[in-house]
Amino acid sequence: MPAAELRAADTDRTAVAEVLGRALHEGRLTVEEYDERLAAAYAARTHADLAVLTADLPAPPAEGSGEDCGGCDGEKLRHEWRNYLMTALLVWTIYVASSLAGGFHYPWPVWVVGPWGAVLLARTLTTRRAPVRR
């Protein structure tokens, strides 16, 4: 069976939706075009159905290709830090609230926020920053 005729997965639909969102943000699509294509992406059954939705759009830079995507790494890291901090706040709040009700116990949130924070910090310190353009 040709690859285009294979059934599309939710991850395939989501990837196309991200490409469409990027195209809207860059001004390549109007809001109406974006809405139509997005609805078609989530209704798509095969890879061929998805391929026609992005055929006239430039391909996104491959991850790790070294192409400058206008600060994508910095944006991704800020988004990841925001998610991390919100999760850390949530689990520590749950811990404190449950501890006040039943006495302080083992600080289990360290196992949620500790490793995640260490990995995120390492990624932040090792991510190559795009040069500032003047």
pLDDT tens-digit map of 71-97: 567 788 888 999 999 999 999 999 999
Name the pLDDT band for 133 (thresholds 50, 70, 90). low
Instruction: Mark whether 48 and 85 lie in a shared domain.
Output: no
Q: Note the pLDDT of residue 74.
A: 77
Structure tokens at 127: 């991510």
Looking at the structure, tell me whether residues 77 and 49 fall in a common domain. Answer: no
Say yes or no: 47 and 82 in one domain.
Answer: no
Render pLDDT for 18-31 as a digit per residue (tens, 0 to 9): 999 899 888 999 89
* Helix, strand, or coil (residue 93): helix
CB distance 101 to 122 below 8 Å: no
Per-residue confidence (pLDDT) for residue 62, from 0 to 100 = 59
Tokens of 30: 């109007």
pLDDT tens track for 5-61: 889 999 999 999 999 989 988 899 989 999 999 999 999 999 999 999 999 998 766
Residue 60 lies in a domain: no
What are the beta bridge partners of residue 46? 7
Q: Are residues 77 and 48 in the same domain?
A: no
In a domain, 106, yes or no: yes
Compute the CA torsion angle 120, 18, 68, 79 (nearest 10 deg).
-30
How many structural domains compose the chain? 2
The boundaries of the domain holding residue 39 are 3-54
Same domain, 120 and 83: yes
* 12 assigned to some structural domain: yes
